């Protein structure tokens, strides 16, 4: 299955996107799906954490931190950078 | 007594609700065979009582590791838990889209279930309004809105649970196989499972649970089941994983519909508070600085802030011992009580301030939400030792004292991460090692030329010991990860909860439970070990030979003035004490150790010091003082006594600078502390790990001290 999305680990802070797919079927991808990162779910990259580059996203109304290698499994589609004036909904 | 299980995602206020339901009746135990805490308490309900069990927080019943399976096992009546009479599932009302997955899985188990919609205040502050009646009707179970922190809704929850146990609500069976392939796979598994030794599957969800389980995890918890699953399903792991992700997606589609129907959202007025706080606390520059500040303050509080309390406990215990010595006639019993039992109680009590302060700090950090951010920022650093960021606080506090540090590892969710952390924590140079380092550096390096003209050589050496401990901890951690605590590094996938004001009641309960548990569970072990050690250093009792005593008594008679007589009398006591100690069992062990420690440059006197300092490392100094016939330092100021002991170390035991270095290395690495042994035994619920750590670390200490000495000798030092 070819994925044309962009991996979440490459997304910059402030990026809005939609989950296209979660790559793989190990423990981490299974957990990511059960945390609600199912295809079509909107998410926003809030920031990159200091000291190590973990990536902090808002998804389904909560804040989730992922390691770089975990974020690499999330393929995003429909990437857009929202208007700078604090986008209301998460 | 009805058994009520409390389940929920992490960060839903589940523990707050547990505290609100059970108050101070809660007891912390362990699930058999695994180092995961099992918390249970009792609630008075009318004339009866409920037994309430707080299950570990989890996101899904479909476990990905043995510890995640606990919730499922507890709910289905495995693990020595009776199948609960009812389940309370705690949900974060502001976060239903994620929380509903677990609730729906639990509903599918067919137990009387009640949903506690907690944190309603936060949800409405975020502009959410939840139609809980509509949600109840849709799910077929009562959904009780509440704010557990303020006790709101607890009575309504109690009524709902009572009703649910009388007339079990019929939860809508929401689970449906989303595709014909999955339906076929489930039917096949239910039909063929029994033939392969799998238990009968009562519901579709149970069949699902088996189908989606990780064979390795199953194998770890129920030997044989993993292979049976693979054989019975007839599907490859990737086919099963594909079905699993299909099922999860179908669940979330269902959840999205429910949320769309029953939750409405007014646009928030402004950027949420948590995001604004995070932009400071997780700022690329400010974040690490504030982190250092917070952790520095926590460390300082445990390291130095407790000194007045420890001193007060010491003087109270000394006063009690003094009183008991006066009341009781001199006898073996008195010595056992004063020098054994009371000393052991004092040895336990001095840890209480550290434990209380550390857990106060941890509870505040955890309840406020900062601990998750701290774990996030240290995740990469600790990744080098194969550990997650949650190991940071236990390892940091171990620099103050290994005992509370090892206790702090309880907050770590994964048992294998926790075991590694517990086993490497003793390598952090605790404050009790500092007096030993100071003794050596003040004795043999006081006159060493400063490095680069400004840095004290002794100071650098002490710093080196801290560094040595850290480096070894990383190495030992990496080795343990590849041997006894194998398995992938646990994922981060960390939820960052909103910042919340910690509740005083919760924090006080956490501190109280930790202190109580330490005193009742680890205390008796420390007392027992103190009595044993004291007995080793006391028996067999050998008096000073008559000729020696006569010669010393002649000195008393020959003294020209009263102070001279007193000094001569003290010399008799010191000589008797030295003689008794070196002929006691500990003395015999010290002599027996000599061939083992001679390659490190230590004589039998230092050997006795190693035995005696097992009570606590800093006790090395008074034990050596007694061996050298200088008494226990009574009536001398610390520096003067340290100089005397140091002088004897050089004069009698031939301590050279090189032997001093190897003594420091030995103390930096060896597990020379019975309280650490006791706490590891308690925390891992076994004697295997403390004994392994004791033997392993002491062997490592010997090897490194030996290597340092040989290198030094080869380089021409002495």
Q: Where are the domains of chain A?
A: 6-80
Nearest to B282 among A32, A33, A49 (CB): A49
> CA of B306: how far to CAs of B310, B360, B402, B544, B618, in Å?
6, 12, 15, 42, 17
| Phi, psi angle pair for B357, to nearest 5° | -70, -40
Fold annotation for A6-80: SH3 type barrels. (2.30.30)
Contacts of residue B319, Cβ cutoff 8 Å, sequence gap at least 6: none
Q: Which residues 346-405 of B have a C-beta within 8 angstroms of A?
A: 372-373, 376-381, 383
Task: Indicate if the pLDDT at residue A84 is higher than 80.
Answer: no
Better-scored residue on pLDDT, A52 or B291: B291
Inter-chain contact B282–A50, Cβ cutoff 8 Å?
A: yes
Cα three-residue angle B327-B329-B333, rounded to 5 degrees = 100
- Quick one: closest CA in A to B275, which residue? A46
Contact between A27 and B267 using a beta-carbon 8 Å cutoff: no
| Interchain proximity A65–B278, CB inside 8 Å | no
Picking from A31, A46, A89, the nearest residue to B493 by CB comes out as A31
Query: B686 in contact with A at a CB cutoff of 8 Å?
Result: no
Q: Give the three-class secondary structure for B677.
A: helix
Distance CA(B255)–CA(B250), nearest Å, equals 9
How near does any CA of chain B get to the CA of A77, in Å? 17
- In this model, does residue B121 exceed pLDDT 50? yes
Q: Can you tell me the distance from the alpha carbon of B100 to that of B212, in angstroms, rounded to the nearest whole number?
A: 19
Residue that wins the pLDDT comparison between B33 and B416: B416
Between B333 and B24, the higher pLDDT residue: B333
Model pLDDT for residues B124-148, shown as the tens digit of each residue: 988 899 999 999 999 999 999 999 9
Interface residue B257 vs chain A (CB under 8 A): no
Distance CA B457, CA B446 (A): 8
Q: Does B250 touch chain A (CB under 8 A)?
A: no
Contact residues, A window 15-74, toward B, CB-based 8 Å cutoff? 22, 25-36, 38-39, 41, 46-54, 56, 60-67, 70
Which residue among B249, B265, B493 sits closest to A35, beta carbon to beta carbon?
B493
Omega within 30 of 0 (cis) for the link into B540: yes
How high is the ipTM of this complex? 0.87
- Of these ranges, B110-114, B190-194, B301-305, the one predicted with the greatest mean pLDDT is B110-114
- Mean per-residue pLDDT, A44-69: 89
Q: Which residues fall within 8 angstroms of residue B116, CB to CB, at 6 or more apart?
A: B8, B17, B88, B89, B90, B91, B144, B146, B148, B153, B157
Backbone dihedral angles phi then psi of residue B54, each to the nearest 5 degrees: -90, 110
Q: Would you say B705 and B431 are in contact if contact means Cβ atoms under 8 Å apart? A: no
**pLDDT class of B387 with cuts at 50, 70, 90:** confident
List CB contacts (< 8 A) between A27 and chain B.
64-65, 214, 488, 491
Instruction: Tell me the mean pLDDT in the region B32-57.
Output: 82
Over residues B522-547, mean pLDDT: 87
Residue B550 CA, distance from chain mean position? 55
Question: Residue B245 is nearest to which of A25, A53, A60, comparing CB atoms?
Answer: A25
CB of B133 within 8 Å of a chain A CB? The answer is no
Q: Which segment of B159-163, B211-215, B250-254 scores lowest on mean pLDDT?
A: B211-215
Q: What is the model's pLDDT at position A2? A: 45
B277 Cβ under 8 Å from any chain A Cβ: no
A52/B282 Cβ within 8 A = no
CA distance B640 to B637: 6
Q: Are B495 and A64 in contact (CB under 8 A)?
A: yes
Q: Strand, coil or helix: what is B3?
A: strand
| pLDDT reported for residue B21 | 92
Residue B264 confidence (pLDDT)? 92
Distance CA B292, CA B281 (A): 11
User: What mean pLDDT comes out for the span B339-360?
Assistant: 89
- Nearest-CA residue of chain B relative to A67? B492
- Give the Cβ contact number of residue B530 at 10 Å: 25
Inspect the interface and report whether the beta carbons of A25 and B279 lie closer than 8 Å.
Answer: no
Domains along chain B? 1-269 (3.40.50.300), 270-305+350-428 (no CATH), 529-541+584-714 (no CATH)
Residues of B within 8 A of A38 (CB-CB) are 248-249, 252-253
A-B CB pairs within 8 A amount to 133
CB contact under 8 A, B95 and A28: no
CB contact under 8 A, A54 and B376: yes
Distance CA B364, CA B366 (A): 6
User: CA torsion angle for B286, B291, B292, B293 (degrees, to 10)?
Assistant: 90
Cβ(A6)–Cβ(A65) under 8 Å? no
Indicate whether B416 pLDDT > 90.
Answer: no
Which has the closest alpha carbon to B533: B665, B429, B678, B426?
Answer: B678
Of A31, A46, A88, the CB nearest to B491: A31
pLDDT value of residue A88: 38
Tokens of B649: 């170390």
More confident residue, B426 or B386: B426
CB contact under 8 A, B252 and A27: no
Percentage of chain A lying above the pLDDT 70 cut: 80
Contact between chains at B249 and A39 (C-beta distance less than 8 A): yes
Considering only CA atoms, which of B188, B204, B197, B174 is closest in space to residue B239? B188
Is B377 close to A49, i.e. CB distance below 8 A?
yes
Put simply, the answer to whether A70 touches B285 (Cβ < 8 Å) is no
Q: Is B263 left (phi over 0), alpha (psi -120 to 50) or beta?
A: beta
| Mean pLDDT for the stretch of residues B39-63 | 89
Strand partners, B30: B37
Lowest mean pLDDT among A47-56, B389-398, B521-530, B630-639: B630-639
């Amino acid at each position: 299955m070819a994925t044309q999305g962009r991996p979440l680990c490459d997304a910059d802070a402030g990026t809005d996107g939609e989950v296209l797919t979660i790559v793989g079927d190990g423990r981490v991808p299974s957990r990511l799906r059960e945390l609600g990162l199912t295809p079509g779910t909107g998410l926003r990259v809030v920031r990159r954490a200091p000291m190590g580059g973990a990536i902090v996203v808002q998804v389904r109304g909560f804040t989730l931190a992922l390691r770089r290698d975990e974020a690499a499994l999330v393929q995003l589609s429909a990437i857009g950078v929202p208007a700078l004036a604090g986008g209301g909904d998460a | 007594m009805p058994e009520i299980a409390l389940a929920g995602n992490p960060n839903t206020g589940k523990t707050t609700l547990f505290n609100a339901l059970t108050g101070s009746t809660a007891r912390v135990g362990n699930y058999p065979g695994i180092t995961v805490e099992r918390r249970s308490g009792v609630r008075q309900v009318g004339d009866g009582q409920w037994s309430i069990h707080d299950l570990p927080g989890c996101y899904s019943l479909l476990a990905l590791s043995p510890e995640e399976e606990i919730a499922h096992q507890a709910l289905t009546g495995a693990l020595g838990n009776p199948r609960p009479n009812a389940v309370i599932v705690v949900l974060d009302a502001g976060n239903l889209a994620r929380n509903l997955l677990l609730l729906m899985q639990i509903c599918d188990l067919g137990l009387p279930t009640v949903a506690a919609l907690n944190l309603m205040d936060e949800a409405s502050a975020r502009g959410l309004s939840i139609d809980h009646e509509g949600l109840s009707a849709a799910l077929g179970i009562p959904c009780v809105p509440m704010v557990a922190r303020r006790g709101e809704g607890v009575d309504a929850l109690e009524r709902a649970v009572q009703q649910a146990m009388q007339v079990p609500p019929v939860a809508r069976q929401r689970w449906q196989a989303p595709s014909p392939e999955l339906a076929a796979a489930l039917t096949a598994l239910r039909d063929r499972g029994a033939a392969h030794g799998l238990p009968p599957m009562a519901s579709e969800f149970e069949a699902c649970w088996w189908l989606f389980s990780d064979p390795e995890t199953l194998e770890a918890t129920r030997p044989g089941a993993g292979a049976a699953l693979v054989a019975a399903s007839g599907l490859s792991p990737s086919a099963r994983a594909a079905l699993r992700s299909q099922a999860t997606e179908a669940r979330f589609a269902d959840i999205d519909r429910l949320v769309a129907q029953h939750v409405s959202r007014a646009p928030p007025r402004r950027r949420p508070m948590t995001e604004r706080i995070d932009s400071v606390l997780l700022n690329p520059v400010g974040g690490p600085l504030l982190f250092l500040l917070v952790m520095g303050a926590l460390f300082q509080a445990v390291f130095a802030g407790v000194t007045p309390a420890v001193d007060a406990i010491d003087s109270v215990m000394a006063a009690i011992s003094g009183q008991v010595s006066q009341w009781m006639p001199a006898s073996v019993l008195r010595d056992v009580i004063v020098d054994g039992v009371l000393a052991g109680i004092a040895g336990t009590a001095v840890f209480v301030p550290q434990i209380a302060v550390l857990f106060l700090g941890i509870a505040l950090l955890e309840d406020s939400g900062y601990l998750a951010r701290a774990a996030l920022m240290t995740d990469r650093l600790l990744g080098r030792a194969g550990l997650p960021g949650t190991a940071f606080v236990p390892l940091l506090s171990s620099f103050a004292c290994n005992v509370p540090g090892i206790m702090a590892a309880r907050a770590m969710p994964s048992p294998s991460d926790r075991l590694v952390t517990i086993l490497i924590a003793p390598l952090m140079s605790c404050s009790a090692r500092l007096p030993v380092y100071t003794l050596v550096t003040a004795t043999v390096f006081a006159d060493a030329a400063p490095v680069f003209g400004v840095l004290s050589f002794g100071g650098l050496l002490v710093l080196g010991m801290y560094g040595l401990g850290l480096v070894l901890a990383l190495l030992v951690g990496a080795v343990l990860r590849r041997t006894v605590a194998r398995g992938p590094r646990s994922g981060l996938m960390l939820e960052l909860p909103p910042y919340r004001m910690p509740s005083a009641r919760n924090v006080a309960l956490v501190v109280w439970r930790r202190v109580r548990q330490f005193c009742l569970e680890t205390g008796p072990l420390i007392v027992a070990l103190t009595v044993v050690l004291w007995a080793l250093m006391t028996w067999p009792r050998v008096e000073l030979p008559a000729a020696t005593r006569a010669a010393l008594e002649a000195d008393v008679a020959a003294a020209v003035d009263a102070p001279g007589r007193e000094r001569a009398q003290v010399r008799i006591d010191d000589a008797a004490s030295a003689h008794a100690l070196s002929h006691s069992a500990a003395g015999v062990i010290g002599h027996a150790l000599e061939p083992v420690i001679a390659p490190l440059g230590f004589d039998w006197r230092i050997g006795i010091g190693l035995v005696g300092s097992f009570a606590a490392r800093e006790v090395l100094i008074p034990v050596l003082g007694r061996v050298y016939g200088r008494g226990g330092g009574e009536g001398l100021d610390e520096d003067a006594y340290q100089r005397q002991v140091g002088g004897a170390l050089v004069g009698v035991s031939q301590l050279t600078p090189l032997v001093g270095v190897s003594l420091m290395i030995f103390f930096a690495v060896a597990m020379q502390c019975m309280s650490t042994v006791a706490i590891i035994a308690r925390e891992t619920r076994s004697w295997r790990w403390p004994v392994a750590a004791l033997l392993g670390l002491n062997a490592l200490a010997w090897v490194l001290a030996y290597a340092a000495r040989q290198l030094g000798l080869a380089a021409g030092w002495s």
